[in-house]
């Protein structure tokens, strides 16, 4: 089996730690990681034990999980290849935007050191994925906003920076409502006790649940 596809489960765990910590600014704990990976607690504990053994993660006394330098390198490589695959699927092959995450997840493990630079060249050195996330090693990850739409004030105007890419149904909703990177949104009403936020985008008004608004980052 080719070297790059021998540790799929470990790479998936490392990339989720990377996404939670670097993309979303969240503390990574086992329960949150297990939810993202759809693992039972016992399976998650076993996975973390193996990653610690291989010196890919560290777990502090408060049970917070962080990547070691080698774990970060591996995670960054996989995230880069995943986002390049998304660009290839959407921009070259014409795949529907909302389908790109799942399909790219199938492809990321098969992109090698040989094919990666060819994909980058064919794509014209893209810096962001179709969902607005920086491509590690090409784009500037520090430029990604940590401001979530659901936290912004009434009457403010924002540009969508990126959206959460791991939920196909949510992505289909975002596409239908034109809530994609680059879209301009105005917050017209926040109703936290009702759990909603009302926004104006593309000359129409949309009522979002705060959970959906929490999946949109804005500039």
| Domain ranges within the chain, ordered by starting residue | 1-139, 149-218
Predicted confidence band of residue 4 (pLDDT cuts 50, 70, 90): low
The pLDDT value given to residue 138: 87
Q: What are 180's two structure tokens? A: 């994609």
* Mean pLDDT across 123-129: 95
What residues have CB less than 8 Å from 50, skipping those under 6 apart? 10
Determine the distance from the C-alpha atom of residue 123 to the mean position of all C-alpha atoms in its chain, rounded to a whole number: 20
Predicted confidence band of residue 202 (pLDDT cuts 50, 70, 90): confident
pLDDT tens sequence across 43-52: 999 999 999 9
What is the CATH number that goes with domain 1-139? 1.10.10.10
* Mean pLDDT across 81-108: 96
For the chain, how many helices (H) and strands (E)?
8, 7
Name the residue among 49, 15, 43, 151 with its Cα closest to residue 58: 49
- Report the predicted TM-score, pTM, of the whole model to 2 decimal places: 0.90
DSSP conformational letter for 93: S
Angle, helices 115-123/69-87, rounded to nearest 10 degrees: 50
User: Which sign, positive or negative, has the C-alpha torsion 35, 38, 40, 46?
Assistant: negative
Q: What are 95's two structure tokens? A: 């795949």
* Mean pLDDT across 123-134: 96
What residues have CB less than 8 Å from 121, skipping those under 6 apart? none
The pLDDT value given to residue 211: 92
In this predicted structure, the answer to whether residue 194 has a pLDDT above a threshold of 70 is: yes
What is the CATH number that goes with domain 149-218? 2.30.30.90
The pLDDT value given to residue 143: 81
Q: Which residue has the tokens 């990177």?
A: 181
* Mean pLDDT across 54-75: 95
């Amino acid at each position: 089996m080719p070297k790059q596809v021998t540790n799929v489960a470990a790479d998936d765990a490392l990339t989720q730690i990377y996404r939670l910590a670097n993309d979303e600014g969240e503390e990574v704990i086992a329960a949150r990681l297990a939810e993202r990976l759809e693992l039972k607690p016992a399976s998650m504990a076993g996975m973390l034990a193996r990653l610690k053994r291989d010196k890919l993660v560290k777990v502090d006394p408060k049970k917070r999980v962080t990547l070691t330098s080698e774990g970060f390198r591996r995670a960054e490589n996989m995230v880069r290849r995943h986002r390049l695959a998304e660009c290839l699927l959407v921009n070259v092959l014409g795949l529907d935007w909302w389908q790109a995450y799942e399909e790219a997840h199938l492809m990321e493990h098969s992109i090698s050191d040989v094919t990666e630079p060819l994909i980058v060249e064919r794509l014209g050195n893209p810096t962001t994925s179709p969902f607005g996330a920086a491509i590690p090693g090409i784009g500037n990850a520090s430029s990604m906003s940590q401001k979530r739409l659901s936290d912004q004030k009434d009457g403010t105007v924002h540009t969508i920076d990126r959206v959460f890419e791991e939920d196909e149904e949510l992505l289909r909703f975002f596409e239908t409502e034109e809530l994609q990177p680059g879209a301009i949104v105005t917050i017209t009403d926040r109703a936290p006790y009702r759990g909603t936020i009302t926004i104006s985008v593309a000359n129409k008004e949309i009522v979002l649940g705060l959970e959906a608004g929490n999946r949109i980052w804005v500039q």
